[in-house]
Chains A and B, each alone.
Chain A
Amino acid sequence: MERTGRTRRVGITTTVPLEPFFSAGATPIDLNNRFMASEDPVRMIEESQVKGYPRNICTWIRGLYTAALDMDGVVGVVRGDCSNTESLLSTLSIVGIPVHPFSYPPERSRDDIEREISSLCEFLRTDPESAEGMADTVNGCRSLALEVDELRWKEMRVKAEEAHSVLLSTSDLKGDPEAWKAMVDGIIDASRNREGEKEGPRLGYVGVPPIMTDLFPTVERAGGNVVYFEVQRQFAMPEGGDWMDRYLEYTYPYSIENRLRDIREQIQKRSLDGLVHYVQSFCHRQIDDIIFREGLDIPILTLEGNLPGKVDSRTRIRLEAFLDVLGGEAL
């Protein structure tokens, strides 16, 4: 990597340990958010196809490819998220971008995660001891995001979209923990004067973040309240332990049993009436739908998304029908 310090922009494909980035003075950039926030995400997908990416590969991977092209380096999670990331890294590598594969260890052992983090530190040109020095900063931000989550499900004083965005953005803290913290403080302050909302079924959202840009406001308009954001909340590492342990407690990259346990707990705690399981077209996680339906005793609506954009009418019809059934009004 040629650039140094904060000017060194390193793309990430999903949540990875952030402490090494900040101790190395590198700016982590979640490529998913960069792709979605770009002026024309559909165009970014097309660019990957021009390079030869197949049309029937998950849209996230195709968008991530284009979003990564001007990065100074990319850290991709090749175990525990999406195997397509391996090929994504290879195709970035051949155009000269330094890449690093990160694996959440399938055995979920402390030794393995330490080894992975050390190797990540080496790539970023820092070491685990220096990285630990950033643990309080990162942890402080995550706690603040979890506070927003509580303001959502306990008091309903922040909107679903706000809670979703804040939790989601803990993946890279927008590259700047201080600025991120100021933004979230603003959201918390603004919520103080608001009335708590409101009637309607309480929903949980499980699965990867949606590619639709207005899913949460759409659910709200249809009369549903999303008060649980499974994977987004996991990005904020809700469980305790030292900074490395948190990456073992993080449920998403490991066995689905851990996710089920977390979801079951939250269904009870947050008094949920139903779940929306979001799946991305062409993603292996669509298969997990079977496990959720078998293992969770709650009505589930599965929604599938492909391209970025607003919620389409087919999805809206499903959503409204689901809320109607949950509402329990007699036929």
Chain B
Amino acid sequence: MTDRIRVDLPEDVLSVGVDMGSRSTKVCVKSQNGQTLSMFDSYRFISHPGNLDIGKGLPVVSTGYGRDRIQHARKVPEIRAHTVGAVYTLGLGDFTLLDIGGQDFKVTRVENGAIRDFHMNDKCAAGTGRFLEMMASVLDMSVDELGRFEGSGVPLESTCSVFTESEVVGMMMEGKGKEEICGGIIQSVYERVRPYLRRYPLDLVIFTGGVSKAEGLRFTIQRELDVEVKVPKSSQFMGALGCAEIAKRTLE
């Protein structure tokens, strides 16, 4: 996340993609010389008025919860943006895309380069980035540190993020070690997404979104489901990359 709140466009800009999520806003700017990626806190991003008419007169495509806030942009559904981003970045035709963001997760099945089906989590933040943030804060550690743990032992049993917080505090009171608590937290996230992944062939999982930074979770999915899990470079930017790509195509 950058402290800057303004998106700078180079002179040779071709297209802009904006993925305004619930927690962070990802921007991809394509130019003659390649592409630049940047990430902002969504709240700060919106409060800078210049950002909302970013790239006026250019091909701009937006997606995410805040997609309507970006003026002059063509709005595309998230599933399309993320899938185009993944297909374009990786050049693959058959895979399951697991995107875990700030407050929801999406599982999209891609076959022969086309979307075959998708599912999103039910109305609950458990198993999302917000859940990991809350748990990390209770344990007084960074999300990165928490994300390094692999899922193990008994998952936390509460079905609600808020109650899980009390459960974690209870475990600390009982003198349980960091290893055990963190293992349980990652295990709960894994068990939350597992039934969604198991609906589709377990050939290849492409893991994206903010939570894909949690290496321990990636290992857990790989180990438990015996499936290859790839986290692409710039895995948090799939939506923005997809948008910029869709925008660029309008020039062709």
Contact = CB atoms under 8 A, between A and B. Distances in A.
Contact of A330 (B77, B79, B114, B123): B114
Size class of the contact patch on chain A: 10 to 19
B127 to A, nearest CB: 15
Nearest to B120: A318
B76 A314 contact: no
Size class of the contact patch on chain B: 10 to 19
A325 interface: yes
A324 interface: yes
Given A306-B123, A314-B123, A331-B113, A321 B78 contact: yes
Contact of B77 (A304, A306, A317): A317
Nearest to A328: B114
B77 A320 contact: yes
A13 B43 CA distance: 44
Q: Is the interface of B mostly helix, strand, loop or mixed?
A: mixed
B80 A317 contact: no
Contact of B79 (A281, A314, A321): A321
Interface string A302-325: 001010000001100110110111
B238 interface: no
A323 B83 CA distance: 15
B79 A313 contact: no
B118 interface: yes
Contacts of A281: 123
Most chain B CB within 10 A, of A306, A320, A331, is at A331
B87 A325 contact: no
B139 interface: no
B84 A304 contact: no
Interface in B89-124: 104, 113-115, 118, 120, 122-123
A314 B104 contact: yes
Interface string B56-97: 000000000100000000001111100110010000000000
Contacts of A330: 114
Contact of A331 (B65, B83, B104, B118): B83
Interface string A266-279: 00000000000000
Interface string A131-143: 0000000000000
Contacts of A313: 65
Nearest to A313: B65
A134 B78 CA distance: 53
Contacts of A317: 65, 77-78, 120
Given A321-B80, A325-B79, A331-B87, A304 B123 contact: yes
A321 B114 contact: no
Contact of A324 (B76, B104, B120, B122): B76
B115 to A, nearest CB: 5
B77 A331 contact: no
Contacts of A304: 122-123
Given A304-B122, A317-B65, A324 B79 contact: yes
Contacts of B87: 331
A219 to B, nearest CB: 14
A330 B93 CA distance: 13
A314 B77 contact: no
B221 to A, nearest CB: 23
B247 to A, nearest CB: 14
B123 A324 contact: no
Given A324-B76, A324-B77, A331 B114 contact: yes
Given A331-B80, A331-B83, A331-B113, A321 B118 contact: yes
Contacts of A318: 120
Nearest to B121: A314
A317 B78 CA distance: 7
A277 to B, nearest CB: 13
A325 B115 CA distance: 7
A203 to B, nearest CB: 16
Nearest to B108: A321
Contact of B118 (A306, A314, A323, A325): A325
B66 to A, nearest CB: 9
A1 B239 CA distance: 62
A304 B122 CA distance: 8
9 contacts: A304-B123, A306-B123, A313-B65, A318-B120, A321-B78, A321-B79, A323-B77, A325-B79, A331-B87
Interface of A: 281, 304, 306, 313-314, 317-318, 320-321, 323-325, 330-331
- Ranked nearest first, the 6 interchain pairs of A and B with the lowest CB-CB distance are A321-B79, A321-B77, A320-B77, A324-B77, A325-B115, A331-B84
Interface of B: 65, 76-80, 83-84, 87, 104, 113-115, 118, 120, 122-123
Given A304-B123, A324-B77, A325-B79, 17 more contacts: A281-B123, A306-B123, A314-B104, A314-B120, A317-B65, A317-B77, A317-B78, A317-B120, A318-B120, A320-B77, A321-B77, A321-B80, A325-B118, A331-B80, A331-B83, A331-B84, A331-B114
